[in-house]
Amino acid sequence: MGIGTSIFLLAVGAILTFALDASVGGVNLDVVGWILMAAGLLGLVITALLWGRRREVVATTTEPVEYRRVEERRDVAPPL
């Protein structure tokens, strides 16, 4: 789940919990809103942890690079 999806779930959950005053038969919209906000928050935390791991610095070797000399021969005819 990405950052955008997590924020979307948080927003929809907050709207269902705090702004909407409707009732649907057999469904408590306040509970659904809290569940969506919890899922959005959990997704946001997991995404932040994964992004933090991805940005770690990788140690590089300090050994010098081996250079090779390449010569081009122009006295050979191209293949037919």
- With pLDDT > 90 as the criterion, what percentage of the chain qualifies? 40
Model pTM above 0.75: no
| pLDDT, mean of residues 39-54 | 88
For residue 17, being part of any structural domain is answered with yes
For residue 11, being part of any structural domain is answered with yes
For residue 23, being part of any structural domain is answered with yes
Phi, psi of 24 (to 5 degrees): -115, 135
14: which residues sit within 8 A by CB, 6+ positions away?
33, 37
For residue 67, being part of any structural domain is answered with no
For residue 33, being part of any structural domain is answered with yes
For residue 71, being part of any structural domain is answered with no
For residue 42, being part of any structural domain is answered with yes
Domains in the chain: how many in total?
1
For residue 25, being part of any structural domain is answered with yes
Phi, psi of 77 (to 5 degrees): -75, 145
